[in-house]
Structure 1
Amino acid sequence: MKSAASMEPRLHRMPFLQGLLPINSTQLPHDIVAGITLAALGIPEVMGYTKIAGTPTVTGLYTILLPLVAFAFFGASRQLVVAADSATAAILAGMLTAVAALGSKEYIALTSTVALAVGVMLVIARVFRLGFLADFLSRSALIGFLTGVGVQVAAGEFAGLLGLAKQGHGPIMQIVSVFQRVGGINVPTAALAIAVLVVIVGCKRFVPRAPGALIAVIGSIVASAVFNFASRGIAVTGDVPGGLPSLFLPPVHMNEINQVLATAASCFIVIIAQSAATARAYANRYNEKGDDNADIIGLAAANAAAAFTGTFVVNGSPTKTEMVDEAGGRTQIAHLTTAAIVLIVLLFLTKPLSFLPGAVLSAIVFMIGVKLIDMKGMAELYRMQKDEFVVALLAAGVVVFVDVMHGILAAVVLSLIAHARHSYRLRTRVLTRGPADRWIAHPVTPNLLAAPGIVVYRFEADMFYANAGRFTEEVLKVVNEASPTPRWIVVDATEMYNIDYTAGKTLVQLGEELDKRGVGIAAVALATGVRHQIERYKALRAHGAHREIFATVDAAVVALRDLSPSPQPSAPGPESPSDTKPD
């Protein structure tokens, strides 16, 4: 019989159950308690998300049933909670209404079709190992995007808090429409919503561990049943179907396929970025090895489970993951516990949910929106990195003033632009000797020499098509404007790790230009890849010219101090300067 120790490595090599195995008996009680906590806090929250997504209340419960189980079995993260999420719910409502009325049977069916399409996209991403795509949505753009979603979500519930129907397109018009109808406010509904907000905020402020949303939900259900809120003009949820969700294949209609795919692609980007960022953060917290590509399979299985059970897209949820972590949960057993509790609710407790006032869900969703508005993150960006603050602000603005889909595109494009901008507007310097033979960096200016006749020019980034022109311009500037003309240009490429084709050809052309001026060129490079690229492009080779790649700036200056760069007759033998090979 094999020992547990010998079995453990085998369990870790399994393509599934990585979030569950090995089971730690001492941790098990903590995971169960965390699962109960997640159910208490998460059930009201996912019911609230159905108001954002425009689907029946019970579909929120479905998102924390089989999708949770599917990710627990097929995902790799031991902490990530996969369930309904406000960002993806907002994407659904913002995009699918172009082809179906919000809340209609066609719309509800399309939300499941989108979940299936997302699952397929995630499988394709796993096949091609596209987990790295999560890196292309920067944290600053994600802060801005989620802040914009928060404004949109909170503004969308403003009318519901006051007992008014939602009117107007976009957050600004929705708020304006409320003020235009201020005389029609339903006072009992508004009073109930204010009471719920007081309970949620009060619990968070004075009793942080108390489930404020759950207390508000249970209290309002009891009050609604006892005092018959429906007869007093306060809208209630109505019948909530009980039992297990029916299994079905989501419909696919070709006349709607373009909108479905566009919606799924928007959800896919958010899911990849948000889930990976959350899973990585908690894996790092507990010194565990993350696996983005394995998590993608778990997310695909979770979205397939959502699609086949008639609910909408699910995503890795930072808020729910933090709920479990704070409650002591460390494995997916906590999430299976939550699923078991949801199953009990669906089988036996849906009747009480029919008394739940709509204003209570509006208040919960309003608070979710407010929580998404990351003022702390925006303030930190403004304080520490103003250019990235602008990226976040633009992403938020596009979500608020245009729509969620364009907000997603803006977030991705702005992230890429920010990266390209950092690489393009890189720091370049010329080096001179300072006290104690230390190198001092200066802005690129002519007549700053590292040694007589030698200019050391530092380029602190990878060299590619967008910044190659600047490289040439600055090198020629320090040559053409210097008096006298330097004999050598030493390019310090120690912080350069890649040279693309355009940059390689630029190096060749620059070498030819410097030859015409009687100026030699050499390089300092540490990265093996860069050395090979320079050699491959023959960027430092010319007939009869002495050109080398040195290991350090000091070595380059010592070697070139008394050496003439002008072409010299080739001498036979391995010591011929024309045959010099890079170090």
Structure 2
Amino acid sequence: MPRTDRNTDKRTTTAQRWRFPLLQGLLPFDKARLGPDIMAGITLAALGIPEVMGYTKIIGTPVVTGLYTLLLPVLVFAVLGSSRHLVVSADSATAAMVAAGLVSLSFTANTPRYVALTSLVGMVAGGVLLLARILRLGFLADFLSRTVLVGFLSGVGVQVAFGELPGMLGIEKGGHGVVQQLLFTFDHLPEMHQATLFIALAVLAIIVGSEVLTPRFPGALLAVIGMTVASAYFHWGENGIKIVGEVPGGLPHLGLPEVTWGDVKLILPIALSCFIVILAQSAATSRAYALRYRDQFNQNVDLVGLSLANVVAGCSSTFVVNGSPTKTAMVDGAGGRSQWSHLTTAVVVLLVLLFLTKPLSFLPNAVLSAIVFMVGVKLVDYRGLADIRRKMPQEFAVALATAATVILFGVEDGIILAVVLSLLQHVRRSYRPRAGVIVRDDVDHWRLEEAAPGRMIEPGLVMFWFGSDLYYANAGFFAAQARGIVRESPTPVRWFVIDCGAITGIDYSAGRALADLQQDLAQAGIVLALARVQERHQGDLEQMGLTKLIGENRLFDSRHECLQAYRLEVETKGPPAKL
């Protein structure tokens, strides 16, 4: 038996070494799960194909480029990614960002030059993702708070939904920005094409009805098939209803887009914005499903999969791809639990590209506009916003500010604000962290109370707790809190002890503030001591001269040790003067 265990361990270790960094989303293979995974992949294709075709309306590229995002990028991430659940394909947020960025540079959608630049954005974003992997920057995803992500995606949803109103009404789109586009649309309402509007309303009714009556039924696919058949039979394209037109069949063209090195510099800001969204959204989605199913995932490994998926997208005539929460939810709801589902989807898309692109040429544009409109509506996280408003009203204002920036000024400005607000939230918490004093309750347990003058753990001893690292931004706040407690104390303070349990670092500015505090307290006859000093930080204290200044006999490993030292010394000291 022991020998068998050793052999098993050896095989396991060998398998793990062989799996890394490939096939982590596919292995270990569970034969019993293959059938459900295949069915989930077919479901994803049924739901996802109309959706990615609709995203081409957002980004402004030919319809077939949406299908391409569900082919090679999906295959690449399935092989190289670590998440068993994340679907990497076209995404409304990044599509809107690319479109907004290129339009602001005065490029015209659906032109060969424009399409080449959308591919270049994918390639450059892939390069930045790979650089992030080399530098192990996967942790950066944690610096975009859920609050600003909810606001950002909700803003994108409003922008996407409003942007599809002209297509649903059968009028031309005009104006820059959501507000101007809405004004332009309202001004041209008399030009509305009633048949186009009826088609869009019928599609919305089918999608909403299927979600209410049979949530797993692909209502969008039914709408696409039904309207395509009707369009071909009744010759809608010849009666003033705009249709998709010829859709090239076959595999995507492989090769570099026709661009120059100067174009790389031109679209770099767009690619960096996409990088931030891809990093945050993909990590959040992967983490959520890994926690749900007790799976493991590695954000740095996923960065490789995301990077090469985008490079492959750029080299296969399509645009930037992202970890899609909506498609990941589709697979999960259909019972898929591994990347085998996504491989199945890629096979279905391949069959569509080879044999079914001709019927797609009869598809009315209003159908895609209606599908994308519903995608935009679903991106507005009403429940998330309501939950934030109920639990954290201040953060609700941050979410609204982010959403408003996206709507009024554009997606790129919105993502910049999202990053800034996320960092400011983090800085605000560490800049004004929670502080208090340690006291003891009736059963001799430690308790943290508000840092108010006069609250002591023992007569004459204040044990001050500071809930953050000490650094240049909060050093003044820390020192002011400490001085205020001593100065305003109704009874004399003999010892002022800093509980360092939550302090994991002290920079130079904070070290100088601590030294100044010690000198002020010493002039008043008050001892400054440190309790629960972590061993790895004692070297920093010594290097800054704080160990010598405070005294080695005033550095304690525990609160109990500090109290014992105080009790031995307290009777030999007179009452201290006030600061």
Specify the TM-score bucket, using the shorter chain as the normaliser.
Answer: over 0.9
Between 1:558-567 and 1:55-64, the stretch displaced more is: 558-567
> In structure 2, what residue type is equivalent to 1:44?
P
Question: 1-side partners of 2:138 and 2:179: how far apart?
Answer: 36
| Change over 3 Å in CA distance of 1:294–1:546 after alignment to 2 | closer
Of the three residues 451, 463, 484, the one matched with 2:458 is: 451
Supply the distance in 2 between the matched residues of 1:42 and 1:520 (Cα, whole angstroms).
68
1:25 maps to which residue? 31
The reply to whether residue 496 of structure 1 matches residue 496 of structure 2 is no
Cα offset, 1:220, TM superposition: 0.3
Deviations 1:141-167 (A, max 9, x none): 111110010010001001111111111
Structure 1 Cα separation of the partners of residues 232 and 200 of structure 2? 17
- Deviation digits for residues 497-542 of structure 1, max 9, x if unmatched? 2222221222122112211111101122264434443344342433
Establish whether residue 191 from structure 1 lines up as the match of residue 198 from structure 2: yes
The residue number in structure 1 matching 2:348 is: 341
Counterpart in the other structure of 2:274: 267
Give the distance between the partners of 1:40 and 1:171, measured in 2 at CA. 31
Does structure 2 retain, via aligned residues, the 8 Å contact 1:498–1:529? no
Structure-1 separation of matches of 2:265 and 2:475: 40
Q: Call closer, same or farther: CA 1:76–1:525 in 2, change over 3 Å.
A: same
Identity of aligned residues (%): 50
Specify every segment of 5 or more residues in structure 2 that has no aligned partner in the other structure, as ranges: 1-5, 574-579
1:139 counterpart residue number: 146
Q: Hey, what's the Cα distance between the residues in 1 that align with 2:455 and 2:218?
A: 66
- The Cα offsets for residues 8-31 of structure 1, whole Å up to 9 and x where unpaired, read as 543332321111122211111111
Which of 499, 505, 520 is 1:513 aligned to?
520
* Corresponding residue number in structure 1 for 2:239: 232
Q: Which residue pairs with 2:576 in the alignment? A: none
- Take 1:343 and 1:236, find their aligned partners in 2: how far apart are those partners? 23
Superposed displacement of residue 185, structure 1: 1.0
Q: Deviations over 1:266-301 (max 9, x none)?
A: 111111111111111112222122111111111111
Partner Cα distance (2:11, 2:36) in 1 = 24
In structure 2, distance between residues paired with 1:544 and 1:304: 59
Quick one: distance in 2 between partners of 1:373 and 1:217? 24
* Alpha-carbon separation, structure 2, partners of 1:150 and 1:196: 19
Q: Normalized against structure 2, the TM-score is what? A: 0.93
Deviates more, 1:403-412 or 1:18-27: 18-27
Question: Which residue of 1 is the match for residue 437 of structure 2?
Answer: 430
Alpha-carbon distance change, 558 to 340 in structure 1, aligned in 2, over 3 angstroms: same
Rounded to whole Å, the distance in 2 between the matches of 1:565 and 1:341 is 84
Does residue 57 (structure 1) correspond to residue 63 (structure 2)? The answer is yes
Give, in whole Å, the separation in 1 of the partners of 2:550 and 2:191.
Answer: 88
Paired residues for 1:192-211 under 5 Å = 192-211=199-218
Work out whether residues 11 and 22 of structure 1, in 8 Å CA contact, stay in contact via their aligned partners in 2.
no
73, 76, 83: which one aligns with 2:82: 76
Deviations along 1:349-377, one digit per CA (max 9) or x if unpaired, are 00100000000000000000000001110
Q: SS of the counterpart of 1:269?
A: helix
Contact 1:452 1:561 in 2 (8 A): no
**Secondary structure class of the residue paired with 1:129:** coil
Change (3 A) 1:225 1:9: farther
1:46 matched to which residue of 2? Answer: 52
Q: CA shift at 1:242, angstroms?
A: 0.5
Deviates more, 1:247-256 or 1:69-78: 247-256
From the superposition, tell whether residues 463 and 543 of structure 1 become closer, same or farther in structure 2 (CA, over 3 Å). closer
Taking the aligned partners of 2:528 and 2:547, their CA distance within structure 1 comes to 7
For 1:11, give the aligned amino acid: A
471-480 or 189-198, larger mean C-alpha shift: 471-480
Amino acid corresponding to residue 143 of structure 1 in structure 2: V
Preserved contact between residue 541 and residue 547 of structure 1 (Cα < 8 Å): no
- Structure 1 counterpart of 2:298: 291
1:165 aligns with 2:172: yes
1:260 aligned partner, one-letter code: I
Q: Which moved more, 1:367-376 or 1:330-339?
A: 330-339
1:119 Cα shift?
1.3
- Residue 16 of structure 2 aligns to which amino acid in structure 1? H
Instruction: Tell me if structure 1 keeps the 8 A contact 2:533–2:555.
Output: no
Which residue of structure 2 lines up, in the alignment, with residue 576 of structure 1? Answer: none
Whether the 8 Å contact between 1:451 and 1:561 is mirrored in structure 2 is no
1:61 aligned counterpart, secondary structure: helix
* Correspondence for 1:282: 289
| SS of match in other structure, 2:31 | coil
Deviation of 1:440 after TM superposition, in Å, equals 4.8
Q: CA RMSD in A?
A: 2.2
How far did residue 306 of structure 1 move?
0.4
Q: Distance in 1 between matches of 2:57 and 2:550?
A: 74
User: Where in structure 2 are the equivalents of 1:97-112 lying within 5 Å?
Assistant: 97=103, 98-112=105-119
SS in 2 for 1:324: helix
Query: Structure 1, unaligned stretches of length 5 or more?
Result: 568-583
- The one-letter amino acid of 2:40's match is A
> Does 1:415 pair with 2:422?
yes
Equivalent residue for 1:358, pick from 352, 358, 365? 365
Shift of 1:168: 1.7
Mark the CA change 1:543 to 1:132 in structure 2 (over 3 Å): closer, same or farther: closer
| Inter-partner Cα distance in structure 1 for 2:446 and 2:493 | 19
1:142 maps to amino acid: L
* Separation of aligned partners in 2, 1:140 and 1:214: 33
Write out per-residue CA displacement over residues 464-514 of structure 1, whole angstroms, 9 at most, x where no aligned residue.
211111111111112223345311101122222222222122212211221
Deviates more, 1:38-47 or 1:290-299: 290-299
Tell me if 1:212 matches 2:219.
yes
**Residue matched to 1:129:** 136
Contact 1:496–1:530 (CA under 8 A) maintained in structure 2: no
Whether the 8 Å contact between 2:85 and 2:338 is mirrored in structure 1 is yes
Is the alpha carbon distance of 1:151 and 1:523 closer, same or farther for their aligned partners in structure 2, counting shifts above 3 Å?
A: same
Matched length: 566
Q: Decide whether the 8 Å contact of 1:456 with 1:489 is kept in 2.
A: yes
Q: Residues 529 and 252 of structure 1: is their aligned pair in 2 closer, same or farther, counting only changes over 3 Å?
A: farther
Native 8 Å contact 2:515 2:549 kept in 1:
no
| Distance (Å, rounded) in 1 between the aligned partners of 2:358 and 2:526 | 87
Q: What residue in structure 1 maps to residue 311 of structure 2? A: 304
Tell me how far apart the structure 2 counterparts of residues 183 and 4 of structure 1 sit (CA, whole Å): 75
Task: Report the equivalent of 1:367.
Answer: 374
Report if aligned partners of 2:124, 2:264 keep a CA contact under 8 Å in 1.
no
Shift of 1:5: 8.2
Contact 1:428 1:457 in 2 (8 A): yes
- The change in CA–CA distance for 1:410 and 1:544 in structure 2 (over 3 A counts) is closer
Output the TM-score relative to the length of structure 1: 0.93
Call closer, same or farther: CA 1:183–1:44 in 2, change over 3 Å: same
Out of 458, 480, 485, the residue aligned to residue 478 of structure 1 is 485
